């Protein structure tokens, strides 16, 4: 290999250093690292336009201009939607602050990876996904993508959001483990499993029926698949598609509930080698279809289940995914920055897809990552840190050292519990979900967070 990850970080830095940036984020604290990096590469002092402070350390006044919009919501998805809506209806005092910070109106906007192209007080976004790609978020169209790309998948049906149609489809498709219902995007794009329900018995689906009739026009019904919830990520270049390593999705259920709770990602688990290659092959084929049919560029995510019959996709997310953050932390490869450059069409000739793939794969397999999080409704005003030690599957709080960090801090809907295991602390071949569950139980014991018992959503 001619280049390492530092070379690609240098390319991204060269694209960003000359510009003043409005950094958009629903929670400010996680972007302190980016703010400090912009200072290190000599970029002008940025403006962070956030919904809430978030969990962690905020940028200093010297490092960034910080504006908090004060968005709130009852759910994680609601908080993201509220923030995106607030960006499009900024009050005059925010516009005045931006004008004072950027009087010559030369700043560029870094939209969140969940958002699309946007203008902030007349400043245009850079490297944000086009609005046209947003229709790929609708889960009802996923089967058409799998079929066009030749990816094996299970049968599903799209039916009107009405009791008789939903129940009848569930009875037809149930393979003995129930069915999973996914709503359309009538109310806008959705994620985080908030528009998903598992229906074990079609005769006892009243809550699911009530939810979908209130929020959706149509619903996709598919069999519940026992296995490991996991995702695969791809990156679309003009003439090739990069496929990364599989990522375990940490997904739980709570006793007596028909809801899934998304709680993080990890690269500590390994599927069978044949399943790994099946997933990566599916990413290449889907990426090629997205490029040819939609002129797609940059990263995308395919979620699915590693079943005894092989990997079966469940949904497509045409954007950067949390799993790519874990892969990027292992390799140092600036995957989000490269995605922005691909979408913007800048310096693409200096990007070597094969090299990016190889560096990411080798580092991702060598240095494993595991993290988790859970939103809580209790209002939290400040961040608390607790070092922990993972040993033999048990989590123990320690005064210092250890091999992981538990945090409790503010969030849009109240509070956030977050786990970050030290890189490499969990060996390859380890399921991440039991460790995250143990860490959330430790947070309950430490801080009375009220998370309660959790069960794996899709046990192997």
Percent helix, strand, coil in the chain, to 5, is: 35, 25, 35
Pairing outcome for strands 298-307 and 310-317: antiparallel
Calpha distance 410→28 (Å, rounded): 11
- Note the pLDDT tens digit of each residue in 240-287: 999 999 999 999 998 988 999 999 999 999 999 999 999 999 999 999
Identify the burial level of 163 via C-beta atoms within 10 angstroms of its C-beta, where 0-12 means exposed, 13-18 middle and 19 or more buried.
Answer: middle
Write the DSSP string, 254-298. Answer: -TT----EEEEEES-----HHHHHHHHHHHHHHHHHHHHHH---E
Q: Both 357 and 413 in a single domain? A: no
Could you tell me the two tokens for 125? 């976004």
Calpha distance 65→57 (Å, rounded): 15
Q: Both 353 and 265 in a single domain? A: yes
Half-sphere exposure of 333 (CA within 13 A, CB side): 27
Check residue 414 and give its pLDDT: 85
Q: At what angle do helices 163-173 and 206-215 cross, to 10 degrees?
A: 120
Q: Both 262 and 360 in a single domain? A: yes
- The answer to the question of residue 10 being in a domain is no
Check residue 325 and give its pLDDT: 94
- The answer to the question of residue 132 being in a domain is no
- The answer to the question of residue 146 being in a domain is no
Would the pLDDT of 460 be above 50?
no
HEC readout, 363-413: HHHHCCCEEEEEEECCCCCCCEEEEEEEECCEEEECCCCCCEEEEEEEECC
Q: Where residue 181 sits, what CATH number does that domain have?
A: 3.30.1490.20
Considering the chain, what percentage of its residues have pLDDT values greater than 90?
A: 87
Which domain covers residue 106, as residue numbers?
Answer: 20-125
- Residue of 253, 247, 232, 276 lying closest to 177 (CA atoms): 253
HEC readout, 223-244: ECCCCEEEEEEEEECCCCEEEC
Q: Where residue 303 sits, what CATH number does that domain have?
A: 3.30.470.20
Could you tell me the two tokens for 315? 């949904």
Calpha distance 86→37 (Å, rounded): 27
- The answer to the question of residue 4 being in a domain is no
Q: Which of 201, 224, 247 is the last residue of a domain?
A: 224
- The answer to the question of residue 3 being in a domain is no
Check residue 458 and give its pLDDT: 62
Q: Both 235 and 338 in a single domain? A: yes
Q: Both 375 and 335 in a single domain? A: no
Calpha distance 176→253 (Å, rounded): 19
Mean pLDDT of 319-332: 95
Task: Please provide residue 287's backbone torsions phi and psi, each rounded to the nearest 5 degrees.
Answer: -60, -40
Would the pLDDT of 198 be above 80?
yes
- The answer to the question of residue 145 being in a domain is no
Give Cα separations from 258 to 194, 249, 336, 350, 373 (angstroms): 11, 18, 34, 48, 20
Q: Both 39 and 171 in a single domain? A: no
Q: Both 323 and 216 in a single domain? A: no
Considering the chain, what percentage of its residues have pLDDT values greater than 70?
A: 99
Q: Where residue 47 sits, what CATH number does that domain have?
A: 3.40.50
- Note the pLDDT tens digit of each residue in 415-430: 999 999 999 999 999 9
Lowest mean pLDDT, pick from 183-197, 200-214, 312-326: 183-197
- Note the pLDDT tens digit of each residue in 432-453: 999 999 999 999 999 999 999 9
Q: Both 165 and 76 in a single domain? A: no
| Terminal Cα-to-Cα distance of the chain (whole angstroms) | 38
User: How many residues belong to the chain?
Assistant: 460
Q: Both 61 and 115 in a single domain? A: yes
Q: Which residue has the tokens 């969030």?
A: 411
Calpha distance 244→327 (Å, rounded): 8
- The answer to the question of residue 380 being in a domain is yes
- Note the pLDDT tens digit of each residue in 167-188: 999 999 999 999 999 999 898 8
- The answer to the question of residue 322 being in a domain is yes
HEC readout, 299-326: EEEEEEEEECCEEEEEEEECCCCHHHHH
Q: Which of 174, 202, 224 is the last residue of a domain?
A: 224
Calpha distance 197→204 (Å, rounded): 12
Calpha distance 357→281 (Å, rounded): 13
Q: Which of 302, 334, 368 is the last residue of a domain?
A: 368
Q: Both 215 and 189 in a single domain? A: yes
Q: Both 329 and 348 in a single domain? A: yes
Could you tell me the two tokens for 425? 């602390």
Number of domains in the chain: 4
Q: Both 51 and 168 in a single domain? A: no
- Note the pLDDT tens digit of each residue in 126-146: 999 999 998 899 989 999 999
């Amino acid at each position: 290999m001619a280049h390492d990850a530092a070379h690609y970080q240098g390319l991204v830095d060269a694209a960003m250093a000359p510009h003043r940036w409005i950094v958009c984020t629903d929670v400010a604290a996680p972007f302190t690292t980016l703010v400090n990096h912009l200072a290190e590469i000599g970029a002008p002092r940025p403006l962070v336009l956030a919904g809430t402070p978030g969990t962690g350390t905020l940028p200093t006044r010297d490092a960034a201009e910080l504006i908090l919009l004060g968005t709130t919501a009852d759910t994680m998805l609601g908080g993201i939607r509220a923030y995106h809506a607030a960006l499009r209806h900024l009050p005059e005092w925010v516009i005045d602050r931006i004008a004072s910070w950027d009087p010559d109106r030369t700043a560029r906007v870094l939209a969140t990876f969940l958002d699309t192209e946007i203008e902030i007080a007349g400043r245009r976004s850079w490297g944000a996904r086009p609005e046209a790609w947003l229709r790929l978020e609708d889960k009802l169209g996923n089967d058409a993508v799998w079929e066009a790309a030749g990816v094996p998948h299970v049968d599903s049906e799209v039916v009107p959001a009405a009791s008789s149609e939903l129940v009848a489809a569930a009875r037809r498709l149930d393979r003995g483990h129930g069915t999973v219902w996914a709503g359309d995007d009538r109310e806008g794009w959705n994620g985080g499993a908030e528009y998903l329900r598992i229906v074990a018995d079609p005769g006892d689906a009243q809550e699911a029926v009530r939810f979908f009739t209130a929020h959706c026009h149509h619903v996709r019904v598919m069999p519940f698949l026992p296995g490991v919830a996991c995702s695969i990520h791809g990156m679309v270049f003009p003439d090739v598609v990069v496929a990364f390593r599989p990522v375990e999705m940490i997904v739980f259920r709570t006793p007596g509930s028909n809801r899934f709770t998304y709680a993080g990602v990890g690269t500590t688990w390994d599927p069978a080698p044949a399943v790994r290659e099946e997933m990566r092959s599916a990413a290449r084929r889907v990426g090629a279809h997205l490029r040819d049919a939609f002129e797609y560029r940059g990263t995308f995510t395919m979620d699915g289940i590693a079943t005894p019959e092989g990997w079966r996709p469940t949904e497509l997310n045409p954007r950067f995914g949390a799993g790519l953050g874990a892969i990027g932390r292992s390799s140092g490869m600036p995957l989000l920055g490269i995605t922005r450059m691909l979408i913007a069409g800048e310096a693409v000739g200096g990007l070597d897809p094969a090299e990016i793939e190889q560096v990411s794969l080798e580092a991702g397999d060598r240095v494993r990552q595991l993290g988790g999080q859970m939103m809580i409704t209790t209002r939290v005003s400040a961040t608390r840190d607790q070092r922990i030690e993972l040993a033999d599957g048990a989590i123990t709080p320690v005064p210092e050292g250890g091999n992981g960090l538990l945090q409790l801090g503010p969030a849009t809907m109240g509070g956030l519990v977050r786990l970050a295991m030290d890189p490499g602390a969990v060996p390859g071949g380890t399921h991440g979900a039991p460790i995250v569950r143990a860490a959330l139980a430790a947070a309950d014991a430490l801080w009375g967070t009220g998370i309660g018992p959790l069960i794996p959503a899709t046990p192997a």
